[in-house]
Amino acid sequence: MKTYAVILGCFFILTAKFLYSQKDTTNNTADTTDLRNSFQQEILLEDLNSEEDESALLDNLENLKRNPFDLNKATLQQLESIPFLNSVTAKNIVDYRNEIKYFKSKRALLKVEGITPELYEKIKIYLIAKQSKKDIMIDETGLKYSVSNVTDKLNLSSRFRSRFLQDLQPKDGYLSGKYEGSRLKMYNQLNVKLEKLDYKIEANITTEKDPGEKNYADFISGYLQLKDYVFIKDAVAGDYVLNFAQGLAVWSLQAFSKGINAVNPIKKKGKGIDGYGSVNEVQFFRGGAAKIALNNFNVNLFYSDNYYDASVNVLTDDVSSFYYDGYHRTSTEIKRKNSAKEKLYGGRITYEKGSLRLGTTYWTSKFSKPVTSDSIKKLSKFSGNTANMIGADYDFIYKNMNFYGEFAHSQTNSIASINAVQFTFFKIADLLFSYRNYPADFAPVHSFGFSEKGETYNERGFYAGIIFRPLKGLIVNGYFDQYKFPYRTFFNPVPTSGNDFLANIEWRAAKGFVFNFKYKNENKEETQTAADESGRAVRRIDNRNQLNVRTGFIYQVTDKFRFRSRYEYVNVGYKNFGVNNKGYLFFSDIRIIPVKGLVFDTRFIFFNTDDYDSRIYEFENDIQGVMSNVALYGEGRRWYLLMKYKPIPFGAISLKYAETYFDGVKSIGSGNDEIEGDVNNRLSMGIEVGF
């Protein structure tokens, strides 16, 4: 049987190699990048199964689209940061550029080893070729631009963005007066850039008010950034992020993890130092940072003096808990605002030569008040006044192989590590194998490594992923992740383990038509409350199995009309004590561009799940800059209408109305967020002006 499997595998590889090695008729003809037909961002983001504020991910993707990399100047590290693009193929782009001197059109990317037509369609929205005089861009409202006009004539540019969101049904917190501010959520951002041949300057200021907060600038963030000036590659004063290596020593922002792209997102691809312009109120540093280039060495230096929301014990004057939601609505939330401060400084040195990158990172910090070990309901994590971290990382490309990893040592004398190897076989397949070991006593104050539970401690795991392209237009993604939590936690009194399997098929059956099928099965040990022989409630470990099956399609009928539909089924089962439950979600949506400059999106959703345990996440298009990933459970219907209007080339307005009906309920939510009735609706408006 194994012999037949090997023969069959070799047949598929040879067949695919033959199909992809046919004579390449691609030339340097012009390319049209049509954002009306771009839906890859939606597919990337709808794989997130969390209601947490992950707007930084959306901001990063939008920033890449708004500021695409120039193919004739982009570094290997910049190309690596593009979603769907692995390090080996990014290196192939640089090597091919060195061979041909410069790209006359980005369509020439199809000559690069590893760039399939499907991959090209996914990455081209993040790239331009400034030398091209023919390449065209069409925005999502149908307006057309020449690449040379967009990129060459704008040395000074500015962008102002403002948005307003309000839930129309009042929550109990407003009716009772516990929420001291209005229901309005408001955001404003001003960004100014000056680009010269020998340097770039960028300034940004962001303000935000959450619903229920009194101050209309409750959160204020800003930075001034200098890039590519003599030996200073990057320098930031104000708010900034640090994203280094694989996130074990320091990583500020959220990152893509396991999903329908089974290989490329597993490797973290941070920019290092960068200004912070998002609205998550804890995922950044405040102070100054700089990156200095010295031949093959890069030196990063950083300093931060930033506040955190925290509860402080009045008797012992120590921090009993941190809060990361950024809400300051009630008297209690206002009281804990900026109650603790952290002073941090450190540095990083990297050696880069060709496709070899070696780095080491160190930082140390001191908190204004001691942190208790119970502050975040974990038995082993950071406690005390001071923290520090030292890390070492490597990244090396050899032919079609990419080896990378990181080791980090925290102040608890514990060492965490992750190591991986990725293989790229022609245009046929990508393989990834990764092993992570995060000890229970590792203290990751500013770490965000690849993990199952989103925390870089108390976890060991082995991950294997594959992207297989057996035929043109057909892409198969799959992964298996086996993990273990070796030490007990606050929620699980004994060690637990689990595994996760996913298979996803994407088939471009015809021009403009993409079919998708996803199968995911997860087994995980969890604590359940059960009755013992005497009828007393006790905590027992039970195996939880969750099965998700999703199928759908996207049909770009014309440039002005798109139709999409999706069905998802979920089944949650417990081996011994838990309550089994299931559910489904179905939606259809259409996008219409009746005239240039105007686009309408509307979606109708039907859902029915037994309870919250079988909830299904539904990512939605929203006004510019808003991350909307709704968890739907119970029985009901939801619909929304989104309009984006661009009356002038440098100005845009977006409006969205969304409404959810829940069948058979008298109220929605609980506590201060409880809404009387069976309807929850929201109105959103966004304005963007750029010069």
Mean residue pLDDT of the chain comes to 86
Spatial CA neighbour of 66 closest among 597, 625, 596, 654: 625
Each residue of 559-595: b (16+ CB within 10 Å) or e? eeebebebebbbbbebeebbeebbbbbebebbbebee
Residue with tokens 């079988």: 614
Q: How confident is the model at residue 663 (pLDDT cuts 50, 70, 90)?
A: very high
Residue 362 CB burial class (10 angstroms; 0-12, 13-18, ≥19): middle
Q: Per-residue pLDDT for 113 more than 80?
A: yes
Question: Model pTM?
Answer: 0.88
One-letter amino acid at 499 equals N
CA distance 616 to 684: 23
- Of 4 and 131, the structure prediction assigns the larger pLDDT to 131
pLDDT digit string, tens, across residues 33-72? 777 666 666 666 766 665 555 666 777 777 888 788 888 8
pLDDT digit string, tens, across residues 386-407? 999 999 999 999 999 999 999 9
- 171 lies in some domain: no
- 236 lies in some domain: no
Token duo for residue 292: 């200095």
Q: Per-residue pLDDT for 13 more than 70?
A: no
- 603 lies in some domain: no
For the segment 261-266, the average pLDDT, to the nearest whole number, is 88
295: left (phi over 0), alpha (psi -120 to 50) or beta: left
The sign of the torsion formed by the CA atoms of 269, 274, 278, 281 equals positive
For the segment 571-583, the average pLDDT, to the nearest whole number, is 91
- 564 lies in some domain: yes
pLDDT digit string, tens, across residues 629-661? 889 999 999 999 999 999 888 899 999 999 999
pLDDT digit string, tens, across residues 185-239? 999 999 999 988 888 999 999 999 999 999 999 999 999 999 999 999 999 999 9
- 513 lies in some domain: yes
- 506 lies in some domain: yes
- 394 lies in some domain: no
Q: How confident is the model at residue 8 (pLDDT cuts 50, 70, 90)?
A: very low
Range of the domain at 524: 472-579
What's the number of domains the chain is made of? 1
pLDDT digit string, tens, across residues 332-341? 999 999 999 9
For the segment 566-585, the average pLDDT, to the nearest whole number, is 93
Residue 566: CA atoms inside 13 Å, Cβ hemisphere, count? Answer: 27
pLDDT digit string, tens, across residues 344-384? 999 999 999 988 999 999 999 999 998 886 544 444 467 88
Considering 114-123, 273-282, 373-382, 661-670, the range whose residues carry the highest mean pLDDT is 661-670
Token duo for residue 551: 């199928």
Neighbours of 19 (CB within 10 A): 14
Strand-pairing partners, residue 559, are none
- 36 lies in some domain: no
